[in-house]
Structure 1
Amino acid sequence: MTSRTLRKRLHHGDVDGKKNEHLETSGSDDLNEPLLGNYYSDTHAEGSSLEETCDDERRKEYLHWTLLFSQLIAQWARWLVVPVLHLTSNVKLLNCLKKVAIFIGQANIVLGSGSLIGQLLTFPSTTQNGQSTKLLAPPLSPLQEARLRKLRQRLEVPFDGSRVEHQDALLQLWRLAYPDKELPPLKSELWKQMGWQGSDPSTDFRGGGFISLENLIFFAQQYPESFQRLLHKQDGTRAEWEYPFAVAGINISFVLAHMLDLQSAEPASLAGIRFLELLQEDEMAFDNLYCVAFQMMDAQWLAKRASYMEFNDVLKSTRSQLERELALEDVSSVKDLPAYNMLRR
């Protein structure tokens, strides 16, 4: 991401384009991908110092030994804690032992709705490089399988600006965002006021697909007050260089799908496994979780007093917070997440 891609947006709510100040450049490096930069890259940035490289090696070595030690503790937990979990009927003791197992052994226990202790998942296992862990998801119910299959089908649909239904969806988003404004053409400078990178919104969907547009529409329909407040940047003291609303929404869809392992045969992360439980309770769990994540991202943005170039850092913080909330023991639906309370209808 270079400074050539920046656009200065002082008043997102002014869709007439008369009061907005823009600093734009054109060129081959315009953003057609989500604003993730090197979000999933582990490589060093060009020009990294020798000291930074050494620090990174020390962190890797520390992580390696930490994981080895945690595996020993996890094995101990399997031998000692797990049998007690199956034998005791004391609820307080169960909760205490489960927390101990999760904390010291990295043993992940996901509560099911059909029994007191739910189903015990496998303990994390390290790969040959000692840096990754994997969990096994419990068997899915027919309802979960059907809903997960439908969600994955949605994820596979790219945005196609030549399809009438995709054009109609884009115009529907405009109506929801600006009900008192006239519909613009599909290619118009007015689209930039919603936070698209250029005059043609279709060029911004490569990383998110059609589902990211569906997510934005769902947000506007189900939580219109929160949608409008975020669109018009009404909360808190805003940065001079704000994140573009629409493209931020595409990013959130993109990050959420990766975080939940939705493009894998089976989720291997705790967040992905917990999401399957939410899907059992709510067919639109992904869309509702998207709305929570968007609101959470804006709150992180304000708390960090972030500006445009710090967008990726805010995304990472948002993902971490969402993973922590999904790991909470009492969460059985999206509405149980603490951050859900920030949403306004």
Structure 2
Amino acid sequence: MVCLEMQCDYIGSAMTSRTLRKRLHHGDVDGKKMEHLETSESDDLNVPLLGNYSDRHAEETTLEEIWDDERRKEHLHWTLLFSQLIAQWAQWLASIVLGSGSLIGRLLTFFTSTQNGASAKLFAPPLSPLQEARLRYLRQRLQVPFDGSRMEHQDALLELWRLAYPDKELPPLQSDLWKQMGWQGSDPSTDFRGGGFISLENLIFFARQYPESFQRLLHKQDGTRAEWEYPFAVAGINISFVLAQMLDLQSAKPTTLAGIRFLELLKEDEMAFDNLYCVAFQMMDAQWLVKRASFMDFNDVMKSTTSQLERELALEDVSSVKDLPAYNLLRR
């Protein structure tokens, strides 16, 4: 990025009993404009403010400064244009010629993230029709709120109870019995504000695909637990919400490394989000035990979980959820 430093001189006019000469300096320190004002006094009122410079010389200096400024602007314009062309070329080469899965391709994709000197966002490679369809379907799921008045949503909630407690009788939709699953009150529908219906789908998927891990986390069977444990169901809703944010799924195209790597997982697995959810839930519980956390530490545990998950998604040999090291924590 081209950095320009500017210095502006201002010569004041004569005042009643003395001459003031002022020079205003502009600097850029850590991105902040700083100004410094120097003032000098002269007892001789006859000293010309421009010293020995003639008006002619002042005019030439002004014109020269104008031309210099125009040349700098033109140079900056072509520099930015050239950097954009290079970034576009690198992105094309990474995604089409070398393929986004190769190491060199990924490095070139990283290069495009520093356009115009900004550390910013990455560019996702072009998606296949299959990836686009799966991503579109996932986004549609994310937009569905939980609605306790809809029969299919009520049925899904009861299905979760059957999977969690196969030997227990189904409770009413509003009952204190729901609290033992980790809902905050007697009406689970009030806990879906952030997660939406997909968070309930995630819990059901977890219970069906990895029943042993689901039961162990539900009943807190692993490790030495805290006196104040995290509520299982509410934690599950939070994980759905945080995972969608981490993967940048609300953007037209993900611009985070984790989000771009997730698009690659969609090539192999239509249910990549749900499987990644199960990994994240198991990973969160492992972090909880390592940190000897209690209820008030939940947010810190979630931050550690997302950081670890981002690191694993960045690994070179990960092309599916099953390639993640933390996937080995899950048990069927």
Q: Could you state the TM-score of these two structures normalised by the residue count of structure 1?
A: 0.66
Q: Is the 8 A contact 1:126 1:134 kept in 2?
A: no
Name which of 219, 227, 239 aligns with 2:214: 227
Match of residue 42 from structure 2: none
Tell me by how many angstroms 1:125 deviates.
3.2
CA deviation profile, 1:262-302 (whole Å, cap 9, x unmatched): 01111010000000000011000000000000000000000
Alignment partner of 1:187 is 2:185: no
Name which of 296, 321, 325 aligns with 2:283: 296
Work out the percentage of aligned pairs sharing the same amino acid: 83
Name which of 242, 250, 263 aligns with 2:229: 242
Name which of 159, 168, 181 aligns with 1:172: 159
Q: Is the 8 A contact 2:195 2:241 kept in 1?
A: yes
Written as runs of structure 1 = structure 2, the 5 A alignment for 1:253-272 is 253-272=240-259
CA RMSD between the two structures? 2.4
Q: Could you state the TM-score of these two structures normalised by the residue count of structure 2?
A: 0.69
Hey, what's the Cα distance between the residues in 1 that align with 2:275 and 2:256?
Answer: 20
Hey, what's the Cα distance between the residues in 1 that align with 2:313 and 2:292?
Answer: 25
Quick one: structure 1 residues 195 and 127, their matched pair in 2 at CA, closer, same or farther if it must change by over 3 Å? farther
Tell me by how many angstroms 1:126 deviates.
7.7
Alignment partner of 1:205 is 2:192: yes
Hey, what's the Cα distance between the residues in 2 that align with 1:111 and 1:324?
Answer: 22
Alignment partner of 1:154 is 2:127: no
Structure 2 counterpart of 1:335, which letter? K
Structure 2 counterpart of 1:321, which letter? Q
Name which of 237, 260, 276 aligns with 2:263: 276
Structure 1 counterpart of 2:234, which letter? V
Quick one: structure 1 residues 309 and 111, their matched pair in 2 at CA, closer, same or farther if it must change by over 3 Å? farther
Q: Is the 8 A contact 2:139 2:249 kept in 1?
A: yes
Written as runs of structure 1 = structure 2, the 5 A alignment for 1:1-345 is 112-113=100-101, 117-118=104-105, 120-123=108-111, 124-125=113-114, 133-345=120-332
Q: Is the 8 A contact 1:111 1:329 kept in 2?
A: no
Aligned residue for 1:134, secondary structure, equals coil
Structure 2 counterpart of 1:244, which letter? P
Unmatched 5+ stretches in structure 1:
1-60, 63-74, 87-109
Hey, what's the Cα distance between the residues in 1 that align with 2:183 and 2:99?
Answer: 41
Quick one: structure 1 residues 248 and 127, their matched pair in 2 at CA, closer, same or farther if it must change by over 3 Å? farther
Quick one: structure 1 residues 153 and 127, their matched pair in 2 at CA, closer, same or farther if it must change by over 3 Å? farther
Q: Is the 8 A contact 2:100 2:125 kept in 1?
A: no
Tell me by how many angstroms 1:118 deviates.
3.9
Unmatched 5+ stretches in structure 2:
1-29, 32-82
Match of residue 45 from structure 1: none
Hey, what's the Cα distance between the residues in 2 that align with 1:326 and 1:235?
Answer: 25
Hey, what's the Cα distance between the residues in 2 that align with 1:116 and 1:173?
Answer: 42
Quick one: structure 1 residues 121 and 199, their matched pair in 2 at CA, closer, same or farther if it must change by over 3 Å? same
Hey, what's the Cα distance between the residues in 2 that align with 1:111 and 1:213?
Answer: 36
Structure 2 counterpart of 1:196, which letter? W
Tell me by how many angstroms 1:150 deviates.
0.2
Select the structure with the greater relative contact order (CA < 8 A; seq sep ≥ 6).
Answer: 1
CA deviation profile, 1:153-182 (whole Å, cap 9, x unmatched): 000000000000000000000000000000
Structure 2 counterpart of 1:125, which letter? T
Quick one: structure 1 residues 197 and 116, their matched pair in 2 at CA, closer, same or farther if it must change by over 3 Å? closer
- Size of the aligned set, in residue pairs, is 241
Hey, what's the Cα distance between the residues in 1 that align with 2:132 and 2:254?
Answer: 13
